[in-house]
Amino acid sequence: MASRQPFTPASLDNLKSGSLTDPQTPGLVIEVGARGKKTWKYRRRLPDQDVTVKMTLGSYPAYRIGDAREWARQLNNNVETGVDPREALREAAARAEMTVARAHALYMTAAREGRASRAKRLNKPRTIKDKQDIYDRDIAPILGAKIIYEVTEKDLIKLVSKKGETAKVRANRLAAELKVFFGWAAGLRGLVVGLENDPSRRLGDLKFVETRRTRKLDLDEIRWFLQAVALEKRDFRRGLILSLLTATRINELVKARSSEIENGVWTIPAARSKNSTAHAIALGPWGQQLFASNHEWVFPAERVEGPRTTGWYKARDRVLARMEKIADRSIERFCPHDFRRTARSNTKRLKIDFETAEAMLNHLKVGMERIYDGYELEEEKAAWFLKWEREIIQLAEKAGVAAELEVPVQPKRAIKAPSRRRRCT
């Protein structure tokens, strides 16, 4: 049992064993260890609770009497109001460890489980990837190590404005994702973070004007494209032509597996589709030949296991440069996604109805039609893709590059000699 003696430097220096309770400060005790080390400790029971607060400050004389009494007084301020000071310390420690990186990891878990937005539904794999990409590319390098409670509106404005200097569309996506992330951290869904104030609340005011893309290739440009792409390496040549023939998104195409193609039909699984709906594309003879691969992936990477996901835009740049030489003029820049707009823009000319044209792009039906009309238009889509392939083949033949582009040779029909029938006289 701790003895009660006046707390003076002399009394503490003379203490050789046991413990001594400070008569002036409730709960403050100094104890002597087995090796004679003297340690400041705090022992006090919470009012009306069967809980004893036990805490340690450090050794004497590193902490002097005045230091220990001030420490104990602060603890008493909590204890006497029924608050366990250890909880406050744990919360303070947790706050000190809650960096933006740690908060974002918790946010991504909530996003995968459908708890990160008011929509309360599971996010698509593509959405999850986009969120992580934005964080890794734009947020983590600047704010990742910062305590989230110390992030200010000024920090976020600077981040978005800097991005807007070079990439306005990406700056808008960044601002939108910051609003969702910090809104979650400051809301009831993000109580695990417990952000008191949302610094992203006004970021919507920074939105940059976006120019909607309208680029499509005309028939002359398609012909020049076919001449130019004929000089590419086979995988890039196959991929860029298939992007035109199938009117699919480039990320859906380059990650295609050979197992997704069956009986001449390539089915993009729902997990890789932007709208989470599987999309079947009936390939024509040329498309089937271009898709043929003896590998797990239709476009395998050269140096790593997996699909070839890089190099496509550099290939586009090479093709565009050749097109300008062939045409002897400058040509507006285009991207693989513009092939979707090109194909869709030719549907009316080729006498394709609106519903089939939309289904060809895997655009979902809207309104009551989406609920009640379950017809998938597969036959109509197959007819369109075959018609579109034949249209491109004709352009390749006119450009004189059909053989280089691996266009299947169409068997010539045998010409029958006219039958000789006797005339009745």
The average confidence (pLDDT) of the chain is 89
Which tens digit of pLDDT belongs to each residue from 183-192? 999 998 888 8
Distance (Å, rounded) from C-alpha 25 to C-alpha 13?
Answer: 19
Which tens digit of pLDDT belongs to each residue from 33-53? 988 899 999 999 988 888 899
pLDDT confidence bin for 4, thresholds 50/70/90: low
Least confident of 119-128, 162-171, 396-405: 119-128
Indicate if the pLDDT at residue 422 is higher than 60: no
Nearest to 30 by CA among 68, 62, 67, 77: 68
Indicate if the pLDDT at residue 416 is higher than 70: no
Radius of gyration (Cα) for the chain, nearest Å?
A: 36
Contact, 355 vs 370, CB < 8 A? no
Which tens digit of pLDDT belongs to each residue from 334-349? 999 999 999 999 999 9
Q: What is the pLDDT of residue 424?
A: 46
- Mean pLDDT along residues 223-247: 96
What's this model's pTM, rounded to 2 decimal places? 0.64
How far is residue 11 from each of residues 41, 102, 172, measured CA to CA in Å?
17, 48, 68
Indicate if the pLDDT at residue 369 is higher than 80: no
Beta-carbon contacts of 167 under 8 Å, excluding residues fewer than 6 positions away, are none
Contact, 29 vs 10, CB < 8 A? no
Distance (Å, rounded) from C-alpha 115 to C-alpha 353?
Answer: 41
Indicate if the pLDDT at residue 182 is higher than 80: yes
Least confident of 133-147, 313-327, 368-382: 368-382
